[in-house]
Amino acid sequence: MHKVIVVEDDRIIRRGICKAIPWEEHGFVVAGEAGDGEVALDLIEKEKPQVVISDINMPFMSGLEMAKKIKERSLDTRIIFLTGYEDFKYAQEAVKLKAFDYLLKPVDAEDILMKAKEAAADWESEMAKEKKIIESLPLLQQQFFQKLIRDGEQRLDVEKELSELGVQLEGPHFATVLVKYSSELEDEGYAFREKMLNVTSFVFKEINSMVMNVDTDEFALLLSLENEDDGRKGLLAEALFEQLSEQVDHQVTITLGRTYANLFEVGKSFLEARLAMDMRHIMGTGTVFSLDDTMSKEESEEEPLHDLVTKLETQIKTGLPEKANDTLAQLSAAIVERKNVPLSDLKVLALKFSTMLFSEIEKWIKEETNGFNSSEVYKEIMELHTLTEMAEILQQLIEQWSTAMYQRREKNYFSHVDQAITYMKENFHDSSLTLQRVAEVIHVSTPYLSNLFKLEKGFNFGDFLLELRMKRAMEVLSSEDIKTSEVCDKVGYSNPQYFGICFKKFTGYTPAEYKKKFR
């Protein structure tokens, strides 16, 4: 049975709607009635009806105000408004509030019943879609992380992918915590997910967070943090570990990625947590640790190895690629001389310095050169077998770092965003101009260019293109006596109505008003 609530300040009309219509015969039950929106709102929150039939104009709280509150609280109720001719102007606002429909008074019982049936059917359809999405969400999340592991965060538009998965994090900083459950039984993984969701909602209740499926036995917890050094990440990860360990029979291992200032960089944080998780055979399972913890697990303080490691760290941090390359050669020679450095320690060293080098490279240029990206390098590190392989990986990174640094320092350096902006200024009048087309022209990927706009200029592609077109439209309207449709052609719009909407939103005037005021 579908629930219906009737809201009408006229008691006779209200009782008539409740009693004169054979609701139960048609699959409805009247869950309550109210004489104004304020009383109805509490009733709606309690009963969560599928359909509300409400007058628009009522004392204390009108139907429109009630609808706003319902929308703010994200309730799925379908609202059918009743309005008289004198209040018809309110119907337009009702449409804006996404009311299901409205009926003009006087209205007969059959019309109300028919409209209620349509509203209930619409609710059923929406719920079926949501159920399908919810059921498929774990698989979609797994596919996202598989692409992220395979392609790296620079080749994937992480922000867009997360948005499509319904992830909404407030920020301003973001990080990933990875949780792995040791059981390989799929059914136990599903049970663990339920426990994970319950425990996370309790432990992380003061932090905006989202649990996502990486695999049947692995979950990513995306966090919204206040600042880069937000200490709650580690403390809450420890609390999560303790709670989960008490409630499950198998071992739980938790790893932490670093914290970043952009949502699209949460992919990088995940890859760091993923890489740390791959080091659990070295760091130990059934514990909590971060990528930085794996880096501190170096060989002993014996000379000269330790001094060379410290020297290489300093040279990377101070921006000396040539000296870093020389020190890397010395470090390799010292490891050969020592003879007893385990392969696991070589991987930790390679991991440490590759992460530092990627950080330095990204200070100069966000670019994939020679098909090189962090996820590929991390994969190579985990598969390396010799000191020679480690040295080659780090030498390539130092070379990439050196090239990026000196290209940026050249006086004639022209960034990809600068190239994109130049092309946009020359072609904004073309209605087919898109981010993808600009990316193809300057030979970069679409997600990369989108992210670079935000990172380098502080605004996105769409906003900049809109500003270019609107400023040119303002110039034309204030200096030339031409039709609005001609202005559209000049600034890259094929639809005059859409141009008018964009122009008013940008300037506060319609094209005609602007022309009259400023010409």
Last residue of a domain, one of 343, 377, 409: 409
Helices 343-364, 387-409: crossing angle, 10 deg rounding: 10
Which CATH number do you get for residue 65?
3.40.50.2300
With the CA atoms of 333, 337, 342 and 347 taken in that order, what torsion angle do they form, in degrees rounded to the nearest 10? 0
Q: Output the pLDDT for position 413.
A: 46
* Assigned token pair, 500: 């008018």
Q: Could you give the number of structural domains in the chain? A: 4
Whether 146 maps to a domain, the answer reads: no
Q: Output the pLDDT for position 245.
A: 85
* Assigned token pair, 121: 């059917």
Same domain, 122 and 55: yes
Number of DSSP helices (H) and strands (E) in the chain, helices first: 23, 10
Residue 461: domain span: 416-518
Instruction: Tell which residue, 310, 294, 379, 303, has the closest CA to residue 345.
Output: 294
Whether 140 maps to a domain, the answer reads: no
Whether 347 maps to a domain, the answer reads: yes
Amino acid present at 133: I
Last residue of a domain, one of 409, 434, 458: 409
Amino acid present at 389: E
Whether residue 173 contacts residue 230, with contact meaning beta carbons closer than 8 Å, is answered with yes
Amino acid present at 255: T
Q: Is 178 helix (H, G, I), strand (E, B) or coil?
A: strand
Rama region for 60: left / alpha / beta (φ>0; ψ in -120 to 50; rest):
left
End-to-end CA distance of the chain: 62
26/113 Cα distance (integer angstroms):
8
Q: Output the pLDDT for position 211.
A: 83
Which CATH number do you get for residue 512?
1.10.10.60
Same domain, 223 and 272: yes
Same domain, 110 and 172: no
Same domain, 371 and 504: no
Same domain, 162 and 282: yes
Same domain, 25 and 89: yes
Which CATH number do you get for residue 270?
3.30.70.270
Same domain, 370 and 464: no
Same domain, 123 and 49: yes
Whether 483 maps to a domain, the answer reads: yes
Say which residues have a Cβ less than 8 Å from residue 157's Cβ, sequence separation at least 6. 264, 446, 447, 450, 451
Q: Output the pLDDT for position 371.
A: 42
Q: Which residue has the tokens 């930085």?
A: 292
- DSSP-assigned letters across all residues of 272-295: HHHHHHHTHHHH-SSSEEEHHHHH
- Nearest 5°: the CA angle 377, 382, 386 is 95
Q: Output the pLDDT for position 154.
A: 56
Q: Output the pLDDT for position 297.
A: 47
Last residue of a domain, one of 394, 409, 424: 409
7/67 Cα distance (integer angstroms):
12
Whether 16 maps to a domain, the answer reads: yes
- Nearest 5°: the CA angle 227, 231, 233 is 90
Q: Is the peptide bond before 447 cis (omega within 30 degrees of 0)?
A: no
Q: Output the pLDDT for position 90.
A: 65
417/411 Cα distance (integer angstroms):
16
171/370 Cα distance (integer angstroms):
33
Same domain, 260 and 355: no
Same domain, 264 and 160: yes
Same domain, 214 and 94: no
Same domain, 218 and 345: no
pLDDT tens per residue, the chain (519 residues)? 899 999 998 898 999 999 989 999 999 999 999 988 888 998 998 999 999 999 888 888 888 888 888 877 767 889 998 887 666 666 666 666 667 888 888 888 899 999 999 999 999 888 887 776 666 667 777 777 777 766 655 556 777 777 777 777 777 888 999 998 876 555 566 677 777 778 887 787 778 888 888 887 888 888 888 887 777 888 888 988 988 888 887 789 999 988 888 877 888 888 888 888 877 766 778 889 987 776 554 444 455 777 888 888 888 877 788 889 999 999 988 888 877 777 877 888 888 888 888 878 877 765 444 444 666 777 788 788 888 888 898 998 998 888 877 766 554 445 678 888 999 999 999 988 988 889 888 887 777 788 777 766 777 888 899 999 999 999 998 888 888 888 988 999 888 888 888 888 888 888 888 888 877
**Cβ of 134: how many Cβ atoms within 10 Å?**
10
> What is the number of residues in the chain?
519
Q: Please give the DSSP secondary-structure letter assigned to residue 57.
A: S
Q: Output the pLDDT for position 300.
A: 42
Buried/exposed code over 375-411 (b: 16+ C-beta within 10 A; e: otherwise) = bebbebbeebeebeebbebbebbbebbbebbeeeeee
What predicted TM-score, i.e. pTM, was given to this entire model? 0.46
